[in-house]
Structure 1
């Protein structure tokens, strides 16, 4: 299995209605998070610790909240907030 990101919970529903330019920014940052997690947690499936804290990332137009789940090798985008700026 390799690291990937995906929408979780209500973020998937929000992604259906958000502008494509904003979603492109969210997806670009999510890909960066995947590359960073992959480099930091080389043996993700064998990881035996607690998952790191997620966080908030500001992108043009709004922000999103993410969570890292190392043993699943996933970055979950759990909330998207489109503000239109």
Structure 2
């Protein structure tokens, strides 16, 4: 899941920040890999712009208010699609 999605654009530069929430048993490596795939997808959406992404990785237990709504937030922040050249 995710929360605290923020973004802003200044000319051809876009800043995007979000918090990704992972179950407590998700390894750091897996969380990191998922985060990079999301960053690649976002970057692909804005090919003509410089995109600066900050992703905060959080365990579900750190954000207990989101644990009860986990099903609502299971979807990826981005539409599922292949990242191409």
Q: Same fold (TM over 0.5)?
A: no
Identify the TM-score tier after normalising by the shorter chain: 0.3 to 0.5
TM-score by length of 2: 0.35
Q: Please report the TM-score for the alignment, with normalisation by the length of structure 1.
A: 0.35
